[in-house]
Structure 1
Amino acid sequence: MRKFAIAATVAAFSFTTAPAFAESYNLTVAGASPGGLWSLLGAGLDAAVKEAYPGSTVTYQTSGGGLANVAVLQRRDADMGIVHDAELQVAKQGGEPFNAPVEDLRVLSYLYTWAPMQPVINADFAAKHGIETFADLAAKEVPVRVAINKRGNIASAVALAMLEAIGAGPDEIEAWGGDVIYAASGEQATLMQDRRVDMTLNSIFVRHRSIMQQADAIDLQLLPISAETQAAVNDRTGTSDFVIPGGSYDWAPEDAATVTLGAALVVRADMDEQTAYNLTKALFENHGKIAGVHKAMNALTPEIMAAQKVVPYHDGALRYLSEAGLM
């Protein structure tokens, strides 16, 4: 009996002190086209979750981009989606293509906040018309030919909001003898190089190759926007203030205020709270795995990851952020 009691005690101790098996996750994240920054972010998310939960997999799923990813989440065709903050604003307000406000979106993390709208103008054209700021386009009723992103792209919607905020919407520009042209980033560079447009207005990283290509062909100028325009556009679209530092380009020595698009990792509100907590903890505590996917991501910090304001963070994410002192 004594031997049995000792054996039972040892067995009970072994059971209570044996390490629990670590959880692992098999998740999908909806991004955009293959090969772009978002696909790299998918790889970074996978690496961060694997670091915390070995054996996990986050599979990148191509899609039509942020607005499409909201619908993907609603259909439960992916566990997570990358969505621009301005697209979250559209969904929250029930704007096109949504028939009603989308209320069940929650954020685990901001992924970046630095894709500023860059009003880049041909310097000779600016000198000819006395243009020094973005607002001068409307104040002087300039016949500008401006290229913005393709219809349906959120950067195009933000560009129109910026133009309309200063009283230079497409109708006004056409009345002044100019035009608004819809073209992708690469096309915009070609149009500018060929002098078929006078200005481009797009959401891209500072020193993006499309702007550098333009600068190789013609002299450029960067137009700052006013605080009033920033506030109006941010309120309408969900963007945030941004300053392009002076000297970012050889031809732009002064700071230039503008607005910026960011992107967030979004889930449905009904994601299990502990799962959301675990994923958020994994991403924040291994954010270097995400920051390391591209030099454009070097600025990522936990403070930035916790700074999204358009839709709520998931309850599980909030629990982690509170524990980490980030809320």
Structure 2
Amino acid sequence: MKKCVSAMVLGGMMVAASAIQPASAQTYNLTLCGASPGGLWSLLGAGIDAAVKASFPGSTVTYQTSGGGLANVKLLDEGNCDLAIIHDAEAKAAIGGLEPFNGVIDSMATVAQLYTWAPMQAIVNADYAAEHRLTKLEDIAEQELPIQIALNRRGNVVSAVGESMLNAVGASPEQIESWGGQVTYAASSEQGDLMRDRRVDMILNSLFVNHSSIRELASAIDVTLLPITKETAQKVIDEWDIQEFTIPSDAYEWNDDDTLTVTVSAQLFVRKDADEQMVRDITTALTENFEELRRVHNAMSPLDVELMAGASTVDYHPAAQEVYEQAGN
């Protein structure tokens, strides 16, 4: 009889323990499509993994290298990853069926905005700017300058955004070539050498403010920043659904004025048909542990829940939206 009572008590305790078992007992094994190894997106992948582990111990978010956001659109669409980091401009191209996509891809849903501070920076050789009285990007077309410009490599969306900026001021790559100049397409890692070797006069690329590559370049040659006008900014914003950005005057010791430009942002996506509980749990983990993403790099310090909830290019997954609404965003 005592054994029977003991078993009943033990069984009741186990049922009670099961009833109050925390949600964190759930575990996930997910794949995140990022970009190259060792870059910021790989660090963000580590931060997302840490955030999910903090809320759901035993979980793993595995970072998968890829060709970047454009490639990730297709990888996510085809179900080759559970999560993907994609730029807003890349998502805009996908849902609009623009190049390099052969048709509309609208299978994405937003989980979180990760950063909005990777502005397009027109960094020009200060001697060239002084010689040609070049004070804003629009001056290139107004003077039909034979300028040598480096954009990011083809197939990278910021290269396309750079072309859009040039087109918006009336200085398309074809027009620049007709004036005796040239637009060169090169990876970010190559652009500093091109500038230092005087093979290009200007770099137009998406970079974090005060990025180490800019500091290294500025220590080798004199440089300055070129702003764009509000009108130019709006043309590019309308085309790509990106945002306006002002680089503050104190960002660089060699730049005295606020510099208006545009910026691309990066978001975390899932498929629209992703499991609702998984999306809810991952979003909750990110909102509860966003400091894990902040820790991966000094550039991520502005990240907070309000910013995570502020994307607009692609609708949020309903489960993610629910989490942000409950958090007051």
Aligned pair 1:209/2:209, yes or no?
no
Give the residue type in structure 1 aligned to 2:152: N
**Amino acid paired to 1:322:** E
Q: Letter of the aligned partner of 1:225 in structure 2?
A: I
2:183 equivalent among 170, 180, 183: 180
Instruction: Note if 1:23 corresponds to 2:31.
Output: no
Q: Bigger CA drift: 220-229 or 17-26? A: 17-26
Structure 1 residue identity aligned to 2:265: G
1:104 offset after TM fit, Å? 1.4
Partner of 2:35: 32
The secondary structure found in structure 2 opposite 1:45 is: helix
Taking structure 1 as reference, are residues 192 and 10 closer, same or farther at Cα in structure 2, changes over 3 Å only?
closer
**What per-residue deviation string (whole Å, max 9, x for no partner) do you get for residues 127-162 of structure 1?**
111111111111121111111111111110010000
Q: Tell me if the contact between 1:145 and 1:180 (Cα under 8 Å) persists in the aligned partners.
A: yes
Q: Which whole-Å CA distance do the structure 2 matches of 1:10 and 1:208 have between them?
A: 61
| Structure 1, 18-27 or 50-59: larger mean CA deviation | 18-27
Percent identity for Structure 1 against Structure 2: 51
Q: Which among 83, 93, 98 is matched to residue 95 of structure 1?
A: 98
Determine the structure 1 residue equivalent to 2:76.
73
Which position in structure 2 is the counterpart of 1:289?
A: 292
Gap regions ≥5 residues in structure 1? none
Question: Which residue identity does 1:218 align to in structure 2?
Answer: I
TM (normalized to structure 2)?
0.94
Q: Please state how far the C-alpha of 1:97 moved relative to its aligned partner.
A: 2.2
1:193 corresponding residue in structure 2? 196
Moved runs in structure 1, 4+ residues, more than 3 A? 3-14
Distance in 1, Cα, partners of 2:65 & 2:14: 47
Q: Report the equivalent of 1:230.
A: 233
Matched, 1:267 2:294: no
What CA distance in whole angstroms lies between the structure 2 residues aligned with 1:8 and 1:36?
57
1:215 and 1:247 map into 2 onto residues whose CA distance is 15
Matches of 2:17 and 2:288 in 1, distance apart?
A: 26
User: What letter is aligned with 1:15?
Assistant: V
User: What secondary structure sits across from 2:63 in the alignment?
Assistant: strand
What residue is the counterpart of 1:63 in the other structure?
A: 66
TM-score by length of 1: 0.95
- Confirm or deny: 8 A CA contact 1:108 1:267 kept in the other structure: yes
- The 2-side partners of 1:213 and 1:137 are apart by 26
Out of 315, 320, 323, the residue aligned to residue 317 of structure 1 is 320
Q: Which residue is 2:310 aligned to?
A: 307
For the residues of structure 2 that align with 1:74 and 1:61, how far apart are their CA atoms? 15
Rounded Cα–Cα distance in structure 1 between residues aligned with 2:153 and 2:68: 13
Which one of the candidate residues 92, 112, 115 is aligned to 1:112? Answer: 115
Q: Distance in 2 between the 1:221 and 1:6 partners? A: 80
Query: What's the secondary structure of 1:243's corresponding residue?
Result: strand
**Equivalent-residue separation in structure 1 for 2:176 and 2:99 (angstroms):** 24
What's the offset of the Cα at 1:5?
9.3
The corresponding residue for 1:145 is 148
Cα distance between partner residues in 2 of 1:256 and 1:241: 11
In structure 1, the partner of 2:139 is 136
Q: Distance in 1 between matches of 2:7 and 2:199?
A: 87
> What does the per-residue CA deviation read over 1:193-215, in whole Å, with 9 as the maximum and x for residues that have no partner?
11111111000111122222221
Question: Displacement, 1:16?
Answer: 4.0
Which residue of structure 2 aligns with residue 159 of structure 1? 162
Deviations 1:66-112 (A, max 9, x none): 01011111221111111011100111101122221111100110111
Contact 1:188 1:210 in 2 (8 A): no
Paired residue total: 326
- Separation in 2, partners of 1:178, 1:42: 40
- Mapped to 2, the partners of 1:12 and 1:214 lie a distance apart of 69
Q: CA offsets per residue over residues 47-74 of structure 1, 9 Å max, x none?
A: 0000000110000001110010111112
Q: Which amino acid aligns with 2:15?
A: F
CA-to-partner distance for each residue in 1:148-205, whole Å, 9 max, x for gaps? Answer: 1111111100100000011110111111111101111121111111111111100011
- In structure 2, what is the Cα distance between the partners aligned to 1:134 and 1:254? 15
